[in-house]
Copies of this chain bind each other. A is one copy, B any other.
């Protein structure tokens, strides 16, 4: 159950509501986000919602039987729109493209990418400064200084920055140089990190775990939301299966399912989702048709020279071709 509290609800009123629910067998958690205050009630006893709503301080009450609560569409039917500034909004109906290299390399690479994206009307650039790598001996990214450079070049052209955060201690130093924090598949259930990102006033793009269920993904989003940050974007990026023909198995079923169950925007990462450069554009289009609110695409001026993920990275020409096809889809009214 979610009790949305009135803006003027007093501490005493809230306590009273909480006590009433407690006496009815419901455990409540008070939640204060950047936009509102709620009581999240967990319980299974019969209760008359009208009795709850009659308490002073209650704005409205919704029954939510999902294990996740505040991210559920059972409570908030209207899709959440997330503003990045300069008119960039994720979840408002059209498709937001976020493109860029797997790893930030140097000024020239960033500048070329920003220029290309601007010329294509793409307003969000992805790029890793801190890279999670299976082996401790692999390249682990250019770090904070690289991120600052990235942000400085991108913002000069009003291009937004999305980049991965690996650890709680990195949030604060990164804060000024990031427009969207990305949480990678391996951190999808790093609850400490999720807690802390809930205290930040920046959107968070949360990737599904390597073998994470959609219920787990939504519960991880609930961590961020219930700690205060309502600006959560869900991301399908392929799951691990027995199939060896591609890096991951992109699960496009997840798109309509997540959009049915949650009010949060859902984006697709076809680059990781198939891992084969020649098929990334096809899967990007399929993701768009499946209802995604955005796409995360790896591009590089010269994929063959990319420091990481070259095999799944599009050239600028391939990306431009994809963008043209995405426009065709939009023009045809199919999404």
- Which residues of A approach B to under 8 Å, CB–CB? 27, 29, 40, 42, 67-69, 132-137, 166-169, 186-187, 189-193, 195, 209-216, 219-220, 222-223, 226-227, 239-246, 249-253, 255-257, 260, 273-274, 276, 278-279, 282-283, 285-291, 325, 328-329, 331-334
Residue in contact with A290 in the complex, picked from B210, B249, B283, B333, CB distance below 8 Å: B283
Point out the residues of chain B lying under 8 angstroms from A220, CB to CB. 134
On whether the beta carbons of A242 and B213 are closer than 8 Å, the reply is: yes
Residue in contact with A215 in the complex, picked from B68, B213, B245, B289, CB distance below 8 Å: B245
Distance in angstroms between the alpha carbons of A166 and B244 in the assembled complex: 27
Distance in angstroms between the alpha carbons of A86 and B329 in the assembled complex: 32
On whether the beta carbons of B134 and A219 are closer than 8 Å, the reply is: yes
A21 to chain B, nearest CB (A): 13
A4 to chain B, nearest CB (A): 17
A246 and B242 in contact (CB under 8 A), knowing A209-B210, A219-B136, A222-B136? Answer: no
Residue in contact with A257 in the complex, picked from B260, B276, B333, CB distance below 8 Å: B276
Q: List 26 A-B contacts (CB under 8 A).
A: A69-B137, A134-B189, A135-B222, A136-B227, A137-B226, A166-B192, A186-B189, A209-B210, A211-B211, A213-B242, A213-B243, A213-B245, A239-B243, A239-B249, A241-B242, A241-B251, A245-B257, A246-B257, A253-B274, A257-B274, A260-B278, A282-B291, A289-B289, A289-B329, A328-B332, A328-B334
